[in-house]
Amino acid sequence: MFIQLFFYLFVFILIPISGFANDYKTALIFGATGQDGAYLIEFLLEKGYTVHGVKRKSSSFNTGRIDRFYEHPAYKNRFFIHYGDLTDSLAVLHLIQKIQPQEIYNLAAQSHVKVSFDLPGYTAQTDALGTLNILEAIRSLNQQNCVKFYQASTSEMYGLVQQIPQTEDTPFYPRSPYAVSKLFSHWITKNYREAYGIFCCSGILFNHESPLRGETFVTRKITRFVAKKFLGSDDVLYLGNLHAKRDWGYAKDYVEAMWLMLQHDQADDYVIATGQTTSVKDFVDLAFQEIGVQVYWEGQGLDEVAKDSSTHQVLVRIDPRYFRPTEVEFLLGDASKANKVLGWKPKTTLKQLVQIMVQNDIELERKVSKSS
Ligand code: NAP
Ligand code: G4F
């Protein structure tokens, strides 16, 4: 009797509250080599998970963000990488069959909004039908009750915003092939939850940045430029729409929200955001402040420029090549539901994020110039 009681206490109370149970969890991440993939891998490995990541075949190295996990002694035999592509439905099915994960995170996407206008077909194949490939694999393998699924939805789905701030109930109005494809994935995820009872969650994440952010996204483009300027460059930065506003958070804070969604007993969709919005122009100002440069702006439209207030040197000019055929001018998220239900809130302010990114890019630039 006493032994039985101890057994129940150990299995149902001590293991769950100690987090020890996570030692037995296996996660599969599509999009493991991207910004969020790298932060999520680290987060899950730290929690004791075994993590399987999927990388695409590439003619050059594409694992720069995650190589360090291979070498880390604490993660030995708990981190694995497999070749795969979301557009290859059989490869997706075989991976799930072989790995038998308890959690699947779909972070894989052609994630650049401007590029999606040039590659609408490829974007739809990956960002829309790719998600369906995973959900269909779960269903065909009869894994409905064994696996939890996270879908990387996006604030881009609000596009031409119908409400301020945007919540889980705000109507969508996508403005790019990327956003339309993501909207398909958002709804198909919901549909598979309702139709087949699969534990599927979509995180509607607003923009999130970090030192691992791709270099063609506007924040990282700016912080890299500011770092080069700090080390003596004479270049000018060319940007597109300076007046777009985004709700920018820190990617490291946001991957925790993905995990929290899959730990809850009810599958649901959540907005993840900071509740603050800032223009591209103000982001430029903040980034230059980080290296002690005050910026002032002059001119209008295509002639608008940013100058250094002590030297009057031009720092930023407009290049219409960076404009989009249809733009998302304003995003501001309300993450109250995630706060109330999951206990999630952002930990990092925009000022801290800019500091982290600029300092990291200065270090990186120093290393590059030392080695060349
Ligand atoms: P990211 O850095 O661009 O990473 C995307 C990942 O997807 C990379 O690992 C990429 O591989 C992989 N990938 C692309 N096409 C693929 C395909 N056909 N099959 C398999 N993998 C493929 O994006 P992120 O910033 O980490 O964002 C993660 C996810 O969240 C994306 O789905 C994005 O759309 C979404 N999202 C991002 C934000 C944000 O602000 N960052 C906000 C909302 C939603 P390679 O490394 O080989 O290119
Ligand atoms: O940094 P961006 O390219 O990010 P965007 O378009 O907001 O998309 C990112 O966030 C989404 C979440 O809402 C994700 F779903 C998506 O995968 C991606 O991670 O552009 C931000 C804003 C835009 O309004 C753009 O027009 O900055 C403006 N911008 C101005 N100059 C620029 C530039 N964007 C880029 N990439 N490059 C420029 O030179």
Query: pLDDT tens, 4-48?
Result: 655 555 444 444 444 444 557 999 999 999 999 999 999 999 999
**Using one digit for the tens of pLDDT, what is the confidence trace for 108-125?**
999 999 999 999 999 999
| Alpha-carbon separation of residue 319 from 116, 237, 239, 301, 303 (angstroms) | 19, 9, 6, 10, 10
For ligand 1, the distance from its centroid to the CA atom of residue 153, given in whole angstroms, is: 11
- Return all residues near 369 (Cβ < 8 A) that are at least 6 apart: 231
Q: Which atom of ligand 2 is nearest to the CA of 111?
A: 17
Mean pLDDT of the chain: 94
pLDDT of residue 5: 55
For ligand 2, the distance from its centroid to the CA atom of residue 3, given in whole angstroms, is: 59
Six token digits for residue 311: 């030297």
- The number of the ligand nearest the C-alpha atom of 277 reads 2
Residue 149's CB is within 10 A of a number of other CB atoms, namely: 25
**Does the pLDDT at position 206 exceed 50?**
yes
Which residues form the catalytic set? Answer: 154, 156, 178
Burial of 120 (0-12, 13-18, 19+ CB in 10 A): middle
For ligand 2, the distance from its centroid to the CA atom of residue 328, given in whole angstroms, is: 9
**Does the pLDDT at position 328 exceed 70?**
yes
Find the length of the chain. Answer: 372
As a whole number of angstroms, the longest Cα–Cα distance in the chain is 82
CA distance 187 to 191: 6
Residues at CB less than 6 angstroms from ligand 2: 111, 113-114, 154-156, 206-207, 216-218, 221, 239-241, 244, 246, 280, 322, 324, 327-328, 331
**Using one digit for the tens of pLDDT, what is the confidence trace for 233-287?**
999 999 999 999 999 999 999 999 999 999 999 999 999 999 999 999 999 999 9
Residues at CB less than 6 angstroms from ligand 1: 30-37, 56, 58, 62, 85-87, 107-111, 126, 130, 152, 154, 205, 207-208, 214
pTM: predicted TM-score of the whole model, two decimal places = 0.95
For ligand 2, the distance from its centroid to the CA atom of residue 332, given in whole angstroms, is: 14
